[in-house]
Amino acid sequence: MKEEILKLCGESCDIATRSIKVGLSNVDFIYSEALSSSDAIAKFILQPISDIIIDNVVGVSTKTIIENALTGASCKNVNTIDDAIQKIFLGYTIIIVDNKSMIAVETREQLDRGIESSSIEVAITGSKDAFTENFNKNLGLIRKRIRNNNLFVKEVKLGNESNTKIGICYMNNIAEESLVNKVIEKLKQINNDIIIDGGYITEELSKTTFFPQINQTERPDLASFALLEGKVCIILDNSPTVLIIPTFFIDFFHTPDDYYQKNINTTFIRILRFLAFIIAIFLPGYYISITTYNPTSIPTNLLLNLIEQHTTVPFPAFFEILIMIIAFEILRESDIRIPSKVGSSVSILGGLILGDAAVSAGIISPIMIIVVALSSISSLVFSYNSMVNLIRYYRYFVLILAIFFGIYGLFIGFGLLIINLSSITSFGYPYTYPFVPFVKEDILDSLIKVEKKEKKRNPLLAKKKNR
Amino acid sequence: MKKLMLIVMMFLICGCSNYNDISNIAVISLVAIDYDGNNYISYVKVLSSNSKNEENLYKEECPSLANCFERLNNKLTKRIYLTHMDLLVLSNNLNIDNYNEIINFFTNEETSRNSFNTVIVNKIDDAILNSDTNDINSMLDLSISTNLVAKKITLTDIIKDILNYKVSYIPYLEIDKEITVKGYKVIYDDNKVLTKGESIALNIIKNLEKNFTIMIDNKIYKLEECNTINKVNDNKVNINLNCKYEGNNKKESKIVEDYLKQIIENFIKNNNDNYFRYLMYKYKKENNYNIDYQINIKVNYQESIGGNIFE
C-alpha cells in the first residue's frame, strides 16, 4: 500500500513517510509535509501511539488499538488508495497498519490567513470581519450570524483536476427549492479542470451579458442578509469571496452601511450612487456631443470658456478624450498592480504631475481632465469589480456613439442600456426587479429606503408561504 | 461578419454629419442688417473667447444675405454660429422684400434658434453696434414696465404674428445723441412707425403688461392689475380694459379712463384697424367690411394710504 501511494503521488518531495513498530505490527505514516502540521502529527498520532502498552491486550487487532488511542478529533477509515491520496492532499496523515488497513487522521496545517477586516467592501459602521480562504471559517462566519437549523449547506465538488469543495448555502424555510435545484444543476454543468476562485463560476454562469448577474461579497453580514432574503450563497474553498445568487441590478447600488444607518442617509447615498452610475457612463459622451455637435445647449459664457480652453489643443475633442481615458486606465491598472509602498508615488506622478504637465504643454484642455476624472471617479463608487468593468465598456460604447452621432448617439446608447437591462434574467429572475416587475413592497428598499410598516420577506424570492 | 460590416457601414455613412469642433465656431452676439438699395450691409459681432471678453465687429456688403454670411464665414475662417445671438438689429431702410429675405435666411439657417430679440433702428452706426446687447434688451424691459412704450419681441414671435395677422410690431429705437425707445414699427403692411400713444394703445390691446405707469400732462399715473379682454363677433369688436388706480383724487381715474380711450381710438383710426382686421380675417376670409368698435375702459379708484408718491 505504502509503495503504491508513493508511486501514485509521483514520489513527490513533500510526501513524507515514517515507520514504527507497535507490538508485532508494522505501522507506516504517510503525510504531506506541505499540508500537514508536524506538531499535530506528534501530538495527535505519535505521542498516543508511543504510549500504547500492547502486552496487556489480547484478541484485539492493532488497528483497533491504534484507533482507540488516537486523540485527534477527526479519524476516518480509508478503504481505497484513491481515497487515501485525496485525504493526504487535504492535510490528513494516513496510518497504514501491516500494509493492510488504513486510518486517516486530520493533521491539517493552518495555511490561510486569519479573519481580517474587509479591504474592498469597506463599511464605516457594522461588523468588520471578512471571509478568508478557509471554507470552514467562511461557513462559520455565516453560521455565527444565522444560528438556525434551517441554514442548509450542500456540498459539491467542482474542477476535474482541482477537486474544489463548494458549499451551496440557503435557508430551507425561505429559499425556493426550484432556485436551489437550478443553482446545483448549473454548477454541475460546469466542466472546468480547475476552479480556484468565484470568478471561474461567475464567468461560466453569466457568459451572455456584460452585466454582472452574480454578486460577489467578502462580507459575511451581506451574505447573511442575502440568505435571509431567500437567495443562495456559494462558498468556495480557497476563495475569500462568497457568491450570491440571484443578483439584481439594484443590488449594486446597496452598500454594507445601508442597514446600519438612518433611512434618509441610506436613500441619499443610494441616489448619489445612481447619479454616479449615470455620470460615469454618459459624461464623456455628453461632453463630446455638446462640444462637437450641439454647442447650442451650452450657455454663452461657458461656451466661450470651453472655446478658450480648447484653442491651444492641437487635437480634436474626441481624440483628446480617448487619450485621457486610456491614460487613466493605465494609471489605474498600474496603481492596482504595483506594491502599496510605491503606490502613492505613482498616484502623485501620474495623477498630478502628468495631468498638470499635459495641460501646460497644451496637449489636453483642463475641462477634459475634469470630465474624465469625474467620470472615472464616479465609476469607482462601486466596489464590485464587475460593475466597474461594465461601466467602463458602456462608457466606451456611448463615447463612440457620441463621436459619430452626437446627442442622438447618446440617446441611442441610453436606449440600448435600458433594452439590455430589461432583457437580462438572473437565474430566471428579472434583473430589473423591483422596478420591472413593479413590486411595491421592495421599492421601499431599492433606490430609496423607507421603513416598511409590515416586515415581509422578499415577495419574489421567498417561498410563497413565508412571504 | 455581415452584421459587423453593416454596423461599420452605418457608422461611416450616417456618422459625423454636422460635426463641428467648438474651436472652429465663431459665437455671434449681434447681427445688424442694412440695405442701401442694391446691397445688404451685414454686421456681425463675434464674441471673443479670450479672457478680456472682447467683441469683434465684422462687416460685409453683398447682394444677398446668404452671400454676406458666406463671405463672413470665409473672412473669419470659422463657422458663424447664431445660436447664442442676443439681438438682431434691422435698419429702417429695409423694405418688405428685405424682410422676407431676412426671415427666410434665419428660418433656414440651422444654427439659428430665432429666439433673439429684434429691433429696428433709424440708422445703423457705432452707437448701436458698440453697445452691449444686454443693455439694449434691458432698455426694452424698462420701457414696457415704466412707460408702456414697447416690449421686446423675438424673431419667432414676429414670424408667428406675420403668419397669423399678416402684421407685426417691432420695437423701434431712435439713435440720435443717445438711444431711445420710440415705440413700434409696423412691418409687413404699413411699414410705418407708431407714435408713443399708439404704441401704448397697442400694448394695452394686446394685454402685454399688467402693471405700468403712464404720463398725462406731465403727471405720472401708476396703474395696477390691468387686464384687457377683446371680443370679436361678426363685425363688432369689444375692447374691455379693467385697471386699478391708487391715488388721492377720484377724478384722476376719470382722466386716465379718458386718456386711454382716446389713444386706443387713435390707434384704431390711424392704423386702418389692421390688428383687428386681421384677427377677424381668420373667420371672415375677406377684408372689405366696416368694424364697429366698442371700447370700455374701467379704472377702479382706490384711495392711496401713503399719499401720492409719484409727484
Q: List, in order of start, the domains of chain B with CATH numbers.
A: 25-194 (3.30.420), 195-311 (3.30.300)
Given A308, A317, A406, which is nearest B21 (Cβ)? Answer: A317
Look up the ipTM and state it.
0.78
SS3 B180: strand
Give the confidence band of B311 by pLDDT, cuts at 50, 70, 90.
Answer: very low
pLDDT tens figures, B217-247: 888 888 888 999 988 777 788 889 999 988 8
| Parallel, antiparallel or unpaired: strands A429-430 and A215-217 | unpaired
In a mutational test of the A interface, the residue from B17, B20, B23 whose CB has the highest number of chain A CBs within 10 Å is B23
Rounded Cα distance between A268 and A271, Å, is 5
Backbone angles phi, psi at A156, to 5 degrees: -135, 145
Winning range, highest mean pLDDT, from A279-283, B2-6, B243-247: A279-283
Give the span between the Cα atoms of A311 and B26, in whole angstroms.
12
Question: Does A413 contact B at CB distance below 8 Å?
Answer: no
CA of B296 to nearest chain A CA: how many angstroms apart?
Answer: 46
pLDDT of residue B45: 93
Range A68-84 average pLDDT: 80
Chain B contact set for A397 (CB, 8 A)? none
Over residues B176-192, mean pLDDT: 83
CB of A315 within 8 Å of a chain B CB? The answer is: no
User: Is residue A197 a part of any domain in this protein?
Assistant: yes
Asked if residue A375 is part of any domain, the answer here is: yes
The answer, for A155 touching chain B at a CB cutoff of 8 Å, is no
- Planar angle of CA B232, B233, B239, nearest 5 degrees: 40
Under 8 Å CB-to-CB from B34, ≥6 apart: which residues? Answer: B40, B41, B42, B43, B91, B93, B94, B124
CB contact under 8 A, B22 and A304: no
Test mutation, B10, B21, B80, chain A, max A CBs within 10 A: B21
Confidence (pLDDT) at A8: 83
Domain-embedded: residue A450:
no
pLDDT of B213 > 90? The answer is no
Q: Do B22 and A295 touch (CB under 8 A)?
A: yes
A76 and A175: one domain? Answer: no
How far apart (Å, rounded) are the C-alpha atoms in residues A217 and A135?
A: 15
Residue A56 has pLDDT above 70, yes or no: no
Contact at 8 Å (CB) between A92 and A104? yes
Q: Mean of the pLDDT values across residues A230-245?
A: 91
Which chain A residues are closer than 8 Å to B83 by Cβ? 295-296
Q: State the average pLDDT over residues A209-225.
A: 89
Same domain (yes/no): A274, A207: no
Q: Does A61 touch chain B (CB under 8 A)?
A: no
The number of residues in chain B equals 311
Q: Does A435 map to a domain?
A: no
- pTM, 2 dp: 0.78
Decide if A308 and B20 are in contact by the 8 Å CB cutoff. no
Q: Is A296 on the interface with B (CB under 8 A)?
A: yes
B143 pLDDT above the threshold of 50: yes
Residues A93 and A151 in one domain: no
Of the residues A106, A124, A158, the one at which a domain ends: A106
Mutation pick from A307, A310, A315, A320 vs chain B, by most beta carbons of B within 10 Å, is A307
Residues A359 and A216 reside in one and the same domain: no
Domain with A227 in it: 135-247
Percent pLDDT > 70 in chain A is 95
Q: Which of B14, B21, B29 sits opposite A292 (nearest CB)?
A: B21
pLDDT value, residue A207: 67
Q: Among A193, A217, A247, give the residue marking a domain's end.
A: A247
Share of chain B above pLDDT 70, in %: 90
pLDDT value at position B190? 66
pLDDT, position B88: 95
pLDDT, position B221? 86
Which pLDDT does position B68 carry in this prediction?
93
Cα–Cα distance between A130 and A221 in angstroms, integer? Answer: 9
pLDDT digits (tens, 9 = 90+) for B251-285: 888 888 899 999 988 888 887 666 666 666 555 55
Section A50-71 average pLDDT: 73
Inside any domain, residue A257? no
Helix, strand, coil share (%) of chain B residues, nearest 5 = 35, 35, 30
Domain match, A66 and A143 both: no
Nearest to A249 by CA among A374, A443, A431, A382: A431
Lowest-pLDDT range, A170-179, B57-66, B263-272? B263-272
Residues of A in contact with B84 (CB under 8 A): 300, 303
Q: How many domains does chain A have?
A: 3
**Mean residue pLDDT across chain A:** 85
Is the pLDDT reported for residue A408 higher than 50? yes
User: Residue A280: its pLDDT value, please?
Assistant: 95
Reported as a pLDDT band with limits 50, 70 and 90, residue B301 is confident
In a domain, A461, yes or no: no
Nearest to B21 among A305, A316, A404 (CB): A316
Nearest CA in chain B to A403: B16
